[in-house]
Every structure is written in C-alpha cells, then in structure tokens.
Amino acid sequence: MDRDFLIDLFADFGPVTIRRMFSGFGISADGTNFALALRAGLYLRADERTIPQFEAEGSQPFQYQTRAKTVTVNSYWQLPARLFDDSEELADWARAALAAAQRAALRKRPKTRKAAKPKVSSKAASKPAVGRKPAAKRPAAKARKTTRR
C-alpha cells in the first residue's frame, strides 16, 4: 500500500495524516494514530468495545515474529477485506478506531500529582565538619601552607 492509496481509501472518513512507521505507515487524524498499514495489511486500533466487531468478521490482531517468539498486539486488528470495497462502511470502522485510540490516550494520561518538594543541592545539604569553619570563612589554601621541618 502506498501513501496515495491510503489517502483515497480514507477519503470518506476525512483528512488523514500518513507517516512512515516501521515497514509501512502510521495513519492518524486530529493528531491521534488510529491505523497502521504494514506488510500489505491494514490494521485499525481496537479496544474492549470494538474487538467483538473484528472477531465477528474473522479478523486477527496484528502479530510479528521475533527470534524467540510471536508477539500479538491486541490493540490493532486487521481490517476485514470486504471493507476495501465499501468506503462508507470503512469510514464507520475508522471512526470507531479513532474513538478507541482516543479512549486509550485518555487512560494513558498521567494523573495529577502533588507538587514535589524542591530538591536541595548536595553542597547546600552537606554540613561543615565539626570544629571546622565553613568553606567561605576559611583562609585561602596558599595562606595556610606552612614550612615543615
């Protein structure tokens, strides 16, 4: 799949941004990535609300092989082949994928935390040794030198 094909494919959905990603493209709308075009397959973002729809179509989650094992990415599912010929229904699936991606982004947002205590530098935190004057009040090193016999 090339960039122009993907732009045409999502024309009924609306404007999309296509960026190089891995061995294919990442597809986003409104700054949110909702689809991947990889290895001649198109994968849409999915979550607990939309996965049953993919399963009903016989779709599979995105998988890739490492040296040791096969990794399954349950957050992206293959677009049913019949949707390549039905741009209106593909637009509905793309909207659902965008909504799933937005829900995932909301879950990832960091919770507000209490203000952290200001850090004290190590010099300010160290205390002068007992019986010694602070560094600013000590005489310069040259002035302290005495001759030894």
Q: Per-residue pLDDT tens for 8-30?
A: 999 999 999 999 988 899 999 99
Residue 128 has pLDDT above 80, yes or no: no
* Least confident segment among 43-57, 82-96, 135-149: 135-149
Q: Per-residue pLDDT tens for 102-114?
A: 999 988 766 666 6
* Least confident segment among 36-50, 69-83, 105-119, 129-143: 129-143
At residue 32, the pLDDT reads: 94
What value does the mean pLDDT take over residues 138-145? 56
At residue 91, the pLDDT reads: 96
Q: In the numeric block, which tokens belong to residue 41?
A: 């397959």
Handedness of CA 66, 69, 73, 77 (dihedral sign): positive
Judge whether 87 and 104 are in contact, CB under 8 Å. no
Judge whether 45 and 104 are in contact, CB under 8 Å. yes
Residue 138 has pLDDT above 70, yes or no: no
Longest dimension (CA), the chain: 100
Q: Rounded CA gap, 27 and 144, in Å?
A: 71
